[in-house]
Chains A and B, each alone.
Chain A
Amino acid sequence: MLSQFLQFLFSGITVGAAYALAALGFTLIYNAPNVINFAQGEVIMLGGMLVFFFMQSGLPMPLAIVLAIAIPALVGIALEKLAIEPARDAEVVTLIIITIGASLVIRGLIQIWLGKGAHSYPAFSGSEPLHIGGATLLPQSLWVLGITALVVVALWYFFSRTLAGKAILATSCNPLAAQLVGIDTQWVLLVSFALSAALGAIGGVLLTPITLTSYDVGIMLGLKGFVAAVVGGLGSGLGAVLGGLLVGVIEAMAAGYISSAYKDAIPFILILFILFFMPRGIFGAKVTERV
């Protein structure tokens, strides 16, 4: 019984870590221009697909990974420069629609360039599962969890201890005031998009050996990541991670103990409950809007 429970838990945590990484990207951009970037799922896909592509072209894995993180970051910058910046005076809804358009473009280009098939590459440290209490866990899952933890710590440090991070937070609180005290808000936007794209790509790079990748994996990851970000309270890094893990674990438990047919529905029902009682998510700041 216990081994079964552990197996469901491991499965949930692994899948949940994937959602958590996607949720972190949403959080990061939401913090800057208060935009939900629906192209976030697409940069996750880019990370995995690019590693596959570069390794296939004969590059060693470490170099392929560096490129697969750097290129999506550039894509993030390009998205900001070419699509978001020209529309900076537009409503938030307009900006969100622009990001949806961008996601379609990225997905389409990859589909034409790298085809529609699914791809994978070897796990970082073998695929021999670890046995813990009668359950099994893939070494790659530990990579995902470990790096996710590192990323959370790094982000926390960046936002609370460095000037650049504080400048981003200040811009998200009040762009006009931030500008008045000398923060280059344009630069802040650019950094946010680059960072969140790089983050998403890291997620894609880590996950692909477990989940495989194809041009359309970003849709589901983006959606579940968004849910995780909302559950955690949009804007909170720790919340995003816990939200992701929560959605993943609930899904796995539902599949294991109730019915695999309802496993996608049950987390969403629970999430509705959570949001009903805690409309700002579990870790969302208590904000009062002044009228």
Chain B
Amino acid sequence: MVKHSLLKIATTAAVAVGVSLSAFAADPIKIGSVLSVTGGAAFLGDPELKTLQLYVEKINKEGGVLGRQLQLVHYDDAGDASKANGFAKRLIDDDKVDIIVGGSTTGSTMSMVPLVEKAEIPFISLAGAVVIVEPVKKWVFKTPHTDRMAAEKVFTDMKARNLTKVALLAETSGFGMSGKKETEALAGKMGITLVANETYGPKDTDMTPQLTKIKGAAGVQAIFVFGFGQGPALVNKSYKQLGLSLPLYHAHGVASEEFIKLSGPAAEGVRLPAAALLVAGKLAANDPQKPVVTGYRKTYGDRYKEDVSTFGGHAYDGLMMAVEAFKRAGSTDKAKVRDAIEATKGYIGTGGKVTMSPTDHMGLDQSAFIMLEIKNGDWTIAK
């Protein structure tokens, strides 16, 4: 009788422990994300989501973080900032996520910021513009380089080649317009004169009128194009058609294999700043970024059979910084995780070496960009 009840107690206890253990193990760390997977900004959100899914799966297979599995909760805002706001609310109130990694566009990110700040939840954005981290917001961080950094890198290179009279050709997209604003503000400070200031539409098919005008601008020494997607490739084609010989620079938005393929021979001699990810194979063997970027390239390429883009890289950096912060904080306590992200020091990602501080929630400097030149249809590191 006694024996029986003992056994019973033991079984009950075992079951109880088992239940609570499995409950503990099944309680995942929730990573929320709002990305523009479809719509006009799909080129950002698509590789970002693929990267997050791939690495969450990979981390879980390797045992998760803090002994817990990761769970990705994601929504597609289709490039619509107002939808992003609604989804952020859902992530915070209904899904009760531990951190948010995402916001493909600056618009989406900024619409989520007030909610995130109010709910006091760590947020790592994957969007470009400076406004996200300037002024610094307590709970908001970002991984991509800013357009100002790209312009700075280009102007530094131009000055090294004694080119100070520059024609700016910007795209009328969000990316191009933000870049135009930053470039204009920076030009004066860096001793660069903008002798022509033209724009083109993201869906334009012929840029010869703008380039003809630039050709006629007094004293022009170089052309700087701030655009993204197929527009810059068409600028190259129009440039070649007109037989121009001015040094041609692009911003960091075009750094993809597709850009060279679309421009064809017109891409020869074009220079642009880019993250190390795109020239992974060409980095020196002792470059600290080399193992990170070649690893990401291989993992992503093996899984999806397509080239990596810088944007997927931003998502990789965002997720890894979050994971590291969880580990260093030793818990998912939001305040502790936030502090841990802010204390990120010397993290080597696809975007560069990241060292954050209470006044810098991006943590990248000029060394994150490499000046590239296209030679014989391939990237080379410009000297």
Instruction: Mark A residues whose CB is within 8 Å of B.
Output: 4, 7-8, 10-12, 14-15, 18, 116-120, 127, 129, 136, 138, 207, 210-212, 214, 217, 219-220, 252-253, 255-256, 260-261, 263-264
Contact = CB atoms under 8 A, between A and B. Distances in A.
Contact of A255 (B46, B210, B229): B210
A211 B234 contact: yes
Contacts of B46: 116
A10 B208 contact: yes
Contacts of B265: 127
Contacts of A252: 206, 208-209
Contacts of A117: 258
Given A7-B208, A14-B206, A260-B213, A212 B199 contact: no
A217 B199 CA distance: 20
Residue among B198, B200, B212 with max Cβ neighbours from chain A (10 Å): B212
Nearest to B266: A127
Given A116-B42, A116-B43, A212-B230, A264 B208 contact: no
A207 B172 CA distance: 23
A8 B213 CA distance: 10
Given A15-B206, A210-B205, 7 more contacts: A10-B208, A11-B208, A12-B209, A212-B262, A260-B198, A260-B209, A263-B201
Contact of A118 (B208, B216, B230): B230
B344 to A, nearest CB: 32
A212 B46 CA distance: 21
Interface in B93-112: none
A118 B203 contact: no
Contacts of B230: 118, 212, 214
Contact of B210 (A138, A207, A220, A260): A260
B245 to A, nearest CB: 14
B233 interface: yes
Interface string B34-72: 000000001100100000000000000000000000000
14 contacts: A11-B209, A118-B229, A118-B230, A120-B261, A127-B237, A129-B241, A129-B243, A136-B243, A252-B206, A252-B208, A256-B210, A256-B212, A260-B210, A263-B209
B197 to A, nearest CB: 9
B213 A256 contact: yes
A111 B49 CA distance: 17
Nearest to A3: B212
Contacts of B208: 7-8, 10-11, 136, 252
Interface in B231-276: 233-234, 237, 240-243, 258, 261-262, 264-265
Contacts of B43: 116
Contact of A217 (B172, B203, B209): B203
B contacts with A: majority SS: helix
A255 B209 contact: yes
Contacts of B264: 120, 127
A14 B241 CA distance: 13
B206 A11 contact: yes
Contacts of B258: 117-118
B203 A220 contact: yes
A25 B281 CA distance: 48
Contacts of B237: 127, 210
A12 B237 CA distance: 16
B267 to A, nearest CB: 12
A3 to B, nearest CB: 9
A7 B206 contact: no
Chain A CB within 10 Å, residue with most, of B201, B203, B205, B261: B205
A208 to B, nearest CB: 10
Interface centre among B209, B210, B229 (most CB of A within 10 A): B209
Given A118-B230, A211-B234, A261 B209 contact: no
B234 A260 contact: no
A233 B265 CA distance: 41
B233 A260 contact: no
A214 B229 CA distance: 11
Contact of B233 (A116, A118, A256, A261): A118
A118 B134 CA distance: 34
Contacts of B199: 260-261
A119 B263 CA distance: 10
A220 B199 CA distance: 18
A41 to B, nearest CB: 11
A136 B241 contact: yes
B216 A260 contact: no
Contacts of A138: 241
Nearest to A7: B212
- A-B pairs, top 10 by smallest CB distance, nearest first, are A211-B205, A118-B230, A255-B209, A256-B209, A220-B203, A11-B208, A260-B198, A7-B212, A129-B241, A252-B209
Contacts of B240: 127, 129
